[in-house]
C-alpha cells in the first residue's frame, strides 16, 4: 500500500493549521489595533472634556 496519499493529507493538514494560526494572528493583531484606537480616542475625549471644563470654570469665575 502506498502512503503518498497519507503524506499529502498530513502535509495538507499542516498547511491548514498554519493558515488557521496565521488567521488567528491577524485577527489578534486587528483586535489589538482596534483596542488601542479606542483607548487613545477615549483619552482624547477625556482630555478635551477636561480642558473644556477648565475653560468653563475660568469663565464662570469672572462672573
Q: Tell me which of 4 and 15 has the higher pLDDT.
A: 15
Q: Is the residue at 44 inside a domain?
A: yes
Q: Is the residue at 1 inside a domain?
A: no
9-45 burial, b at 16+ Cβ within 10 Å, e below that, comes to: eeeeeeeeeeeeeeeeeeeeeeeeeeeeeeeeeeeee
Unique residue bearing C-alpha cell 502512503: 3
Does residue 8 have a pLDDT over 80? no
Query: What's the mean pLDDT when you consider all of the chain?
Result: 73
CA distances (Å), 48 to each of 5, 17, 42, 51, 52, in order?
64, 46, 10, 5, 6
Q: Is the residue at 54 inside a domain?
A: yes
Q: What is the rounded average pLDDT of the residues 17-32?
A: 82
Domain of residue 54: give its range.
12-61
Q: Is the residue at 4 inside a domain?
A: no
Please give the tally of structural domains in the chain.
1
Q: Is the residue at 6 inside a domain?
A: no
Amino acid at each position: 500500500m502506498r502512503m503518498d496519499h497519507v503524506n499529502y493529507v498530513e502535509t495538507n493538514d499542516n498547511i491548514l493549521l498554519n493558515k488557521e494560526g496565521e488567521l488567528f494572528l491577524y485577527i489578534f493583531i486587528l483586535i489589538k489595533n482596534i483596542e488601542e484606537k479606542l483607548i487613545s480616542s477615549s483619552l482624547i475625549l477625556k482630555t478635551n472634556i477636561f480642558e473644556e471644563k477648565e475653560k468653563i470654570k475660568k469663565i464662570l469665575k469672572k462672573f
